[in-house]
Amino acid sequence: MADLSRLSLNTITVREQWSLAQCIEGCARHGIPAIGPWRDKLQEMGVAAAARQIRDAGLQVSGLCRGGMFHLPDAIADNRRAIDEAAAIGAPCLVMVCGGLPPGSKDLAGARRRVEDGLAEILPQARAAGVTIALEPLHPMTCADRSVLSTTAQALEMAERLGEGVGLALDVYHIWWDPDLAPSVRRAAGRIAAFHVCDWLVPTQDLVLDRGMIGDGVIDVPGIRALMEGAGYAGLIEVEIMSAQDWWRRDPDEVLRVVKARFAPMC
Amino acid sequence: MADLSRLSLNTITVREQWSLAQCIEGCARHGIPAIGPWRDKLQEMGVAAAARQIRDAGLQVSGLCRGGMFHLPDAIADNRRAIDEAAAIGAPCLVMVCGGLPPGSKDLAGARRRVEDGLAEILPQARAAGVTIALEPLHPMTCADRSVLSTTAQALEMAERLGEGVGLALDVYHIWWDPDLAPSVRRAAGRIAAFHVCDWLVPTQDLVLDRGMIGDGVIDVPGIRALMEGAGYAGLIEVEIMSAQDWWRRDPDEVLRVVKARFAPMC
């Protein structure tokens, strides 16, 4: 029997098909032991109701997606709400997509400072809530509009400067290409708070919404998983697939069956 | 009067509109002092005829695009032809898009070794011809299918291992996001063989063919130009814009007028 004990479903994988309540029920029915919700679906369901149903279904929570976006005007207040939501559903970490350049700006160094300042501002609340702030380096193709944190080493250095309560969320999609990946992950030992998997398709049709199912692309997922384990990460592994033209159009039970079939040998 | 003395037109900027002969004539007519041809157009025109017309027009050549693609079966023979072509038109460098993963492969480390082995194999011919091999780190979004060289530091380290006759071709489009850009460019002093400019559009609709005109995107072009100059680069600056939906559909004389207008204050 395939070992699914580390599998977590990131709910965006079936975003177009299922509500959060349906995701929770689906995970329980498919024997997927953990879930990683997105905030829009969580808010839609209601945080208290979601927390109760997740607990009643016996699911673990791998993390909450997502905080960050410090280039937007209301970022601090929104991140404070996100920390509360993460704590309410028992999420060990809040995954941070830290934000890009403010509208009209070309000041990349300034945007990076703004991210770090924003993180420092919300960090005391996160520490008090017991929610790890998990910095997710995003693929450099998202630098302008989503994340000025582009590499594992860069995110790690920021995490180290910020100190206790700050870790990394590492997604194979964002980091697989990095020539410094292996040494960076080794250096991140003790700081890895989340690990996400999917695959890079060739060709890739869209910079955000064309991720592939594990095994359908070119990423050496077992190799990167081994790097994570070498750095001591033994936690949950989230499958997170944003796929507007393919997986979001399929029967969600089929999606979960394929996730399970691909997860066991690859992850 | 705007200083265009360092401006070179990469011919792909008007690929859909003009032959190489028309590009040469257009540069001369617009007072653009240099040209960077692509090999398909060069071969279409004939290398000897192109060399003659470029010389007769009084144009400098900034480089030839492109060699590389070491993941393809006939790469070595094709790169040898490219070196001959570069020498024939007086190109000081052959820009190398080094290639991605071979079909079906997920072995990124192996692909990088294959690139370096291939470069080592053609390097004696390039040295003999007086053509600098200019390694171009490409944006990480092209890692799977175009270039396993993804950062300036990575390309520089490979250039240093290969030794004499190997430099870098740095394009703002590929390197602007890099958190290590400034120290990497400083370290590259003496190795920069080519500098290309365009811009990163928000949103970007296509991973290859949606580059922006200088000034229309988020890249701090003057800042990166200053980094290059700080590293001692005082050579030609190529404008290279692949834009299937916009600039390739415009009147080519308009394109060149806009290139000149944007180049002077930005580059």
Angle at B137 between CA B136 and CA B138, to 5 degrees: 105
- Mean pLDDT, residues A172-196 taken together: 98
- Shortest CB distance from B154 goes to which of A106, A107, A179? A179
Arithmetic mean of pLDDT over chain B: 97
Percent of chain A with pLDDT over 70: 100
> Which chain A residues have a beta carbon less than 8 Å from that of B178?
140, 150
Q: Which residues contact A209 (CB under 8 A, 6 or more apart)?
A: A242, A243, A244, A245
Percent of chain B with pLDDT over 70: 100
Most B CBs within 10 Å: which of A149, A205, A218, A225, as the mutation test of the B interface?
A218
Q: How many CB atoms lie within 10 A of CB B260?
A: 17
Residue A143 is predicted with a pLDDT of: 98
- Shortest CB distance from A218 goes to which of B106, B203, B223? B106
* Paired residues of B228 in beta bridges: none
Question: How many cross-chain Cβ pairs, A to B, lie less than 8 Å apart?
Answer: 76
Q: Which residues contact B159 (CB under 8 A, 6 or more apart)?
A: B135, B166, B167, B168, B191
Are B219 and B262 a contacting pair, CB within 8 Å? no
Tens of pLDDT, residues B209-223: 999 999 999 999 999
Tens of pLDDT, residues B31-76: 999 999 999 999 999 999 999 999 999 999 999 999 999 999 999 9
Cβ distance B179 to A154 less than 8 Å, yes or no, reads yes
The answer to whether B245 faces chain A, any CB pair under 8 Å, is no
Tens of pLDDT, residues B73-95: 999 999 999 999 999 999 999 99
Residue B266 is predicted with a pLDDT of: 85
* In chain A, where the domains are located: 7-266
Residue A266 is predicted with a pLDDT of: 85
- Mean pLDDT, residues B242-252 taken together: 98
- Residue A21 pLDDT exceeds 70: yes
Residue B2 is predicted with a pLDDT of: 77
- pTM of the entire predicted model: 0.97
- Mean pLDDT, residues A51-63 taken together: 98
Residue A51 is predicted with a pLDDT of: 98
Q: What residue in A sits closest to B203 (Cα-Cα)?
A: A145
Are A50 and A89 a contacting pair, CB within 8 Å? yes
Residue B1 is predicted with a pLDDT of: 55
Arithmetic mean of pLDDT over chain A: 97
Confidence class for position A1, pLDDT limits 50, 70, 90: low
Residue A83 in 3-state DSSP?
helix
Q: Which of residues 105-134 of B touch A (CB under 8 A)?
A: 105-108, 112
- Residue B250 pLDDT exceeds 90: yes
- Residue A194 pLDDT exceeds 70: yes
Which run of H or E residues covers position B65?
Answer: strand B64-68
* Joined tokens for residue A155: 């995110």
Entry field: residues in chain B: 267
The answer to whether B161 faces chain A, any CB pair under 8 Å, is no
Tens of pLDDT, residues B228-241: 999 999 999 999 99
- Residue A50 pLDDT exceeds 60: yes
Q: What whole-number distance in Å separates Cα of residue B263 and Cα of residue B183?
A: 25
Q: Which residues contact B70 (CB under 8 A, 6 or more apart)?
A: B98, B99, B114, B115, B117, B118, B119
Tens of pLDDT, residues B118-131: 999 999 999 999 99
Residue A217 is predicted with a pLDDT of: 98
- Residue A261 pLDDT exceeds 90: yes
Entry field: residues in chain A: 267
CATH for B7-266 is 3.20.20.150
Tens of pLDDT, residues B144-201: 999 999 999 999 999 999 999 999 999 999 999 999 999 999 999 999 999 999 999 9
- Mean pLDDT, residues A62-91 taken together: 98
Residue A265 is predicted with a pLDDT of: 87
- Shortest CB distance from B141 goes to which of A105, A107, A141? A141
